[in-house]
Amino acid sequence: MKGAAIGYALFVVALAAIWGVDQFVIPYTDRYLTDMLLRVAICVISVSGLALVLGFTGQFSLGHAGFMAVGAYSSAVMSMKFGVPFPLAVLLGGLFAGVAGLAVGVPSLRLTGDYLAVVTLGFNQIIIVAVQNSGSFVDAVRALFGTSGAEGKPAELVLGSFGEVLSRFGDLGGAQGLTGVPLETNFGWAFTWLLLALVTLRNLLRSPHGRTFAAVRDNEIATRSLGIDTTRVKVTAFVIGAFWAGVAGSLTAFKLSSIFPNQFESKVSIELLAMVVLGGSGSLSGPVLSASLLTLLPEFLRGLAEYRMMIYALLLVVMMIVRPKGLLGTRELSDVILAGYRRLFPVRKPA
């Protein structure tokens, strides 16, 4: 069990390092740099979730941004209307997104490839439309249940409180956005969540579950013939992916202080998809790398901002033709480093 002990130790060391940096280095760091670090961290969290769904389980999800929206709005509401503290709010955001993932996944995951793509896209749009219509939802709830007042018969009070809770929950501001979210996201929390995401996903993928995911991706029918409930496997991956999208969305809400429905449109889902594909579906470090690069790159190409999407798109097409497995393919960064190391220092067999 020495490996496990080292693992735990490393995790604690990493956490300490993150918070150490947060307390002692960040206050003296250029705010632009900090801003970019946070954006990279948030993007990587979201993309890792998608990598699990797309790369490892082979499910073509084009609605990832929708789950980010669920996370963002629910965590914001929890914090502002129900007084939940920030770290818990982010967790709740992720959980709500996970539930949304379940709701979307169960009906959709019977479908394959192209159809799944369009259906998830559709759900993404539906979530956006729902948020935009939150105003009329609140009005309807208020009309139906009344709102709680100090006086009134007990039944009215109960219904009223329920109505109050529901309407507080539903008051998402519609197209006008949800503003006034406290500015809580900092280096410490963003990177803590990033560490958690990468560690849990890494361990999940190394476990037998991970092999099941890959099996479903490679040949679903064969896997099913082995007696494995593939739908359940797919839904599990989907829910986990949605959870991390929700966490990323929550962190975004507390970073920008205001969120709008069109920040989570299907365009964003497609960009996230591009990051996974370019990084290598079948790898975790690949998408992490490509997400980091693609978030930072526009900052260097500020002059080329108009061409950014065109360059992305071209990259996507060229990659698919020339190197369809993506940057790292199914290998992990550690594999690449290891391979390089081996080539430099080959192990000599005893004579």
Partner 1 sequence: MTLFLQQLINGLSLGAIYALIALGYTMVYGTLQLINFAHSEVFMMGAFAAFLFAGAMGWGDGAGVGAAAAVALVAMGSCAILGMTIERIAYRPMRKSTRLNMLITAIGVSIFLQNLALRLWGTNLTFPDLIAKTNWEIAGVNVASNSVMVLGVTLVLMIGLTWLIEKTKIGLAMRAVSHSRETAALMGIPVDRTISFTFALGSALAGAGAFLFLLGAPKVDPQMGAMPGLKAFVAAVLGGIGSVPGAVVGALVLGLCETFVSGYVSSTWRDAVAFCVLIVILLYKPSGLFGKHIVEKV
Partner 2 sequence: MAVGRYNRALPELPVSLILALGLLACNGGASNGEKGEIVIGEYGSLTGTAATFGLSTKEGVELATKEQNTAGGIAGNTIRVVVEDDQSKPEEAATAVNKILSSDRPVAVLGEVSSSRSLAAAPLLQRASVPMISPSSTNEKVTLIGDYIFRVCFIDPFQGEAIAKFAYGDKGLRKVAILEDVKNDYSVGLAKVFTENFTAMGGEIVGQEAYSEGDFDFKAQLTNLIAKEPEALILTGYYTEVGLIARQARELGFKGVFLGGDGWDSEKLVENGKDAIVGGYYTNHYSVDDPSPAVQDFIKKYEAEYHKKPDGLAALGYDAAKILYMAMTDVAKDPAMAAAFADRSSTPATDETRLAARKALRDRLAVVKDYPGVTGNITIDKDRNAEKPAVVVEVTKDGPKFVSKISPKGSEPAPAAPVDPAAPPADPAAAPPAAPK
Q: Which residues lie near partner 2 (CB under 8 A)?
A: 1, 3-8, 10-11, 14, 30-37, 39-41, 44, 132-133, 135, 174-177, 179-180, 183, 191, 194-195, 198-200, 202-203, 206-207, 252, 255-258, 260-263, 284-285, 288-289, 292-293, 296, 298-300, 302, 305-306, 308, 333-334, 337
Q: What tokens does 190 get? A: 């963003």
| String marking each residue 8-27 x if it binds partner 1 according to CB under 8 A | --------------------
Under DSSP, is residue 73 helix (H, G, I), strand (E, B) or coil? helix
Q: How far is CA 335 from CA 37, 204, 329, 330, in A?
A: 25, 18, 11, 10
Residues 94, 97, 99: CA angle, nearest 5 degrees? 115
Output DSSP code: residue 259: E
Nearer to partner 2, 157 or 336 (CB): 336
Tokens of 180: 């006034």
Q: Which one, 113 or 180, has the nearer CB to partner 2?
A: 180
What three-state secondary structure class fits 152? coil
- Total residues interacting with partner 1, rule: CB under 8 A: 41
- x-or-dash string of contact with partner 1, 86-125, rule CB under 8 A: ---------------------xx-xx-xxx-xxx-xxx-x
* Ranges within 287-306 binding partner 1 (CB under 8 A): 306
Identify the residue among 13, 320, 338, 339 touching partner 1 (CB under 8 A). Answer: 320
What string of DSSP letters covers 76-119? HHHHHHH---HHHHHHHHHHHHHHHHHHHHHHHTTS-HHHHHHH
For the chain, the helix, strand and coil percentages under 3-state DSSP, each to the nearest 5:
80, 0, 20
Please, what is the minimum distance in Å from the beta carbon of residue 280 to partner 1? Answer: 13
Q: Which residues make beta-bridge pairs with 178?
A: 259
Query: Are 321 and 306 contacting, i.e. CB atoms less than 8 angstroms apart?
Result: no
Q: Report the SS3 class of residue 178.
A: strand
Parallel, antiparallel or unpaired: strands 258-259 and 178-179:
antiparallel
233 interacts with, out of partner 1, partner 2, none, CB within 5 to 8 A per kind: none
Supply the minimum distance, in Å, between the C-beta of residue 237 and partner 1. 15
What residue ranges bind partner 1 (CB under 8 A)?
58, 60, 107-108, 110-111, 113-115, 117-119, 121-123, 125-126, 129-130, 132-133, 136, 221-222, 270, 273-274, 277, 306-307, 309-310, 312-317, 320-321, 324
